[in-house]
Amino acid sequence: MQQTTLTLTLLSERYTLHQLPPDTPIAPHWLSGGQLLSLTVTDDELSLLLPESVIIDSPRQEGPWRAFKVAGPLDFALVGIMARLSTTLANAGISLFALSTFDTDYLLVKADRCGDAASALRQSGHQVDLV
């Protein structure tokens, strides 16, 4: 794994992760606005990561989360980016929720551990910027 410095940007929004039954109809207002939105459907569930300001009636929810965006686009040939970042946070005792897109990765940490996460990432040699 190449040991280059990664640049991460802390997004300004706070997020909530919702879990719904997999056959739940998707409401259009769930998918509007925000710096980050994720919708994942499996045989077992529909998971939505939404800005905290979007209120929905979900049987399970977890948050608030803050999101660090890895500067991209990242080449698919790169190996170990998520492992390196998650190990840094694990060593600091910080749990995470990870998302990946075609261009980059996102690390979400509980809002109350956001400062600790930024410090741990900086101490391991990464640059952390604020939006």
Task: Give the tens place of pLDDT for each residue, 42-88.
Answer: 999 999 999 999 888 899 999 999 999 987 766 666 666 788 888 99
CA distance between the termini of the chain: 28
Beta bridge partners of 11: none
Contact 75, 30 (CB under 8 A): no
Mean of the per-residue pLDDT values of the chain: 88
CB 90 within 8 A of CB 54: no
Task: Indicate the pTM of the whole model.
Answer: 0.88
Question: What would the pLDDT profile of 75-93 be if each residue is shown by its tens digit?
Answer: 666 666 788 888 999 999 9
DSSP states of 74-109 as a string?
PPTT--SHHHHHHHHHHHTT---EEEE-SS-EEEEE
Phi, then psi, of 51 in degrees rounded to 5: -55, 145
- How does residue 6 score in pLDDT terms, banded at 50, 70 and 90? confident
